[in-house]
Amino acid sequence: MLKKRVIPVLLLRGKRCVKGKRFENFRDTGDPVMATRVYNAQAADELVFLDIDATNEGRPPSLDILEKVSEEAFMPFTFGGGIRTIEDVRRALAAGADKVAITTAAVLDPELVAGVASTFGSQCVVAGIDVREEGGSYAVYTHSGRRRADIGLVDLVRRLDAAGAGEIFVNSIDRDGMMQGFDLELVKTVAGVTKKPVIVCGGAGNYGHLVEAFRAGAHAVACASLFHFGDNNPPRVRAALKNAGFPVKDI
């Protein structure tokens, strides 16, 4: 039986990890290589690294951290931030990524996701979507939440699904860093229009929030603040999910 995944997210700014609230007010949360070592020792299910400044600085993601962590942590890595071309993907995979997260370019360049999927396989494409709730519906944003996109959420999910994305990673900007729970309507909306695995991010503050997201239809949950700012870790998460009746990884 497939187990429920809980995925720590590491946001990279320069050579450090940071975490903010609603994509602003970032605080330093430590060294990414050290953090990865700890997550490896705790057998985290996967890790997602996002270079949050790459797109806005108009550069590809910085991959040296990925090269370092892939030498000592044997779990799946997703790397994202600033990926705009198939060549960027090739470099990220060569540096040790198993999957790439494509967010801004997935909106601006509809051909990219299809090109990456046909070149490297759907399994390595995680399509990222950042949304804000505006007037009762979801608005899609690019450039780390700075620019509103022209396409609606449901249309974008359908387009990314058809283009061959392997997983959909949806992030609520409103909930980001607030630790008040995931946007469950967002989970239901996205899971309702795709048969690809849906990863929800934004809002986890306790283990109950993870349970709610799985019950709402998420296939995996991603969290940062939960691990950065609380006395929480992957083994405790697994124990809590097991108590709630979910299948978790046997290590």
User: Is 139 a binder of other proteins (CB under 8 A)?
Assistant: no
For the CA atoms of the chain, what is the radius of gyration? 16
**Location of structure tokens 């700012």:** 229
User: Is 198 a binder of other proteins (CB under 8 A)?
Assistant: yes
User: Is 215 a binder of other proteins (CB under 8 A)?
Assistant: no
Total number of residues binding other proteins (CB under 8 A)? 42
User: H/E/C letters for each residue in 34-96?
Assistant: HHHHHHHHCCCCCEEEEECCCCCCCCCCCCHHHHHHHCCCCCCEEEECCCCCHHHHHHHHHCC
Nearer to other proteins, 177 or 234 (CB): 234
Question: How many CA atoms does the CB half-sphere of 15 hold within 13 Å?
Answer: 5
DSSP string, 144-185: TTTEEEEEEHHHHHHHHHHHT-SEEEEEETTTTTT-S---HH
Name the DSSP letter for residue 143.
Answer: T
User: Is 40 a binder of other proteins (CB under 8 A)?
Assistant: yes
User: Is 242 a binder of other proteins (CB under 8 A)?
Assistant: no
Scanning 38-46, 147-155, 175-183, 228-236 for contacts with other proteins by CB under 8 A, the matching segment is 38-46
User: Is 98 a binder of other proteins (CB under 8 A)?
Assistant: yes
User: Is 88 a binder of other proteins (CB under 8 A)?
Assistant: no
Nearer to other proteins, 58 or 74 (CB): 74
Nearer to other proteins, 113 or 124 (CB): 124
Question: How many CA atoms does the CB half-sphere of 16 hold within 13 Å?
Answer: 7
Pairing mode of beta strands 147-152, 220-223: unpaired
Residue from the set 31, 87, 123, 208 that interacts with other proteins by CB under 8 A: 123
User: Is 70 a binder of other proteins (CB under 8 A)?
Assistant: yes
User: Is 71 a binder of other proteins (CB under 8 A)?
Assistant: yes
CB 78 → other proteins: shortest distance, Å? 11
Residue from the set 83, 204, 220, 221 that interacts with other proteins by CB under 8 A: 220
User: Which of these, 50, 7, 1, lies nearest to 218 by C-alpha position?
Assistant: 7
Contact residues toward other proteins (CB under 8 A) are 1-5, 40, 43, 45-46, 67, 70-72, 74-76, 93-98, 118-124, 166-167, 191, 194-198, 219-220, 249-251
